[in-house]
Amino acid sequence: MLSPDNRVVMVSGANRGIGLAVARNLLAKGYRLSLGARDPRKIATALGEATADRVLAAAFEARDRASATAWAEATAQRFGRIDALVNNAGISTPARIEDEDEAVLDALWEVNVKGPLRLIRAALPHLKRSGTGRVVTIASLSGKRVANDNVGYAMSKFAVVALTHGVRRLGWEHGIRACAICPSFVDTDMTAAVTALPRSAMIQPGDLAELVATALALPNNAAVAEYLVNCRFEDML
């Protein structure tokens, strides 16, 4: 397993939900963190000032192309390196096949696909220099099968799984390993309207954060491309 000592991890959408759970988990394990959110002040509030020496709270807006570059540059300037990127920021809004208005679909594509792509592109030179660079993307089981009418969301998650495999291929010779984590329902604000099962039966953010930590720590010769994470039984390929 790779030691967290001196390793720097960028985490998007780190102010709440899965991203905040990932940040807390990695901080406890000894990583140095660059945490991105639309309002970075919320990160400082959530984690406390005691972590300031190992945490950079940065502004990141997935819809803004320049934001990814600025955040990566700020991270490298603060810590001198970038060893891993956790693409967590995302949205889930209904976009059905028969919907004539494509504004929601465009937003899903901008945030869930182009956002991670731009961050990967910005961090890639630093990840190559690391020799053990890692890219972990929070995708979804909706990126592996279509189970409801929200096809737009599924399309975006299928795309980000494909992006992950593209990074694996591109970065392999440079020591970069990429992993897509594909969970079912997670007990966060995003699933607040879900009534198909109780909150207690959903995946807990802290458990998902442990999988992220595992993907970051596995050595180059023991990489896992995808984690499919179920909270209830369903047939999986």
Q: Looking at the annotation, which residues are catalytic?
A: 153
Q: Are 88 and 19 in contact (CB under 8 A)?
A: yes
CA–chain centroid gap for 3, Å, is 21
Cα gap 221→14, rounded to integer Å: 29
Report the SS3 class of residue 211. helix
Q: Is the dihedral of CA 56, 121, 63, 210 positive or negative?
A: negative
Q: C-alpha distances in angstroms, 137 versus 35, 101, 123, 235? A: 15, 28, 14, 23
Q: Are 4 and 30 in contact (CB under 8 A)?
A: yes
Cα gap 9→70, rounded to integer Å: 16
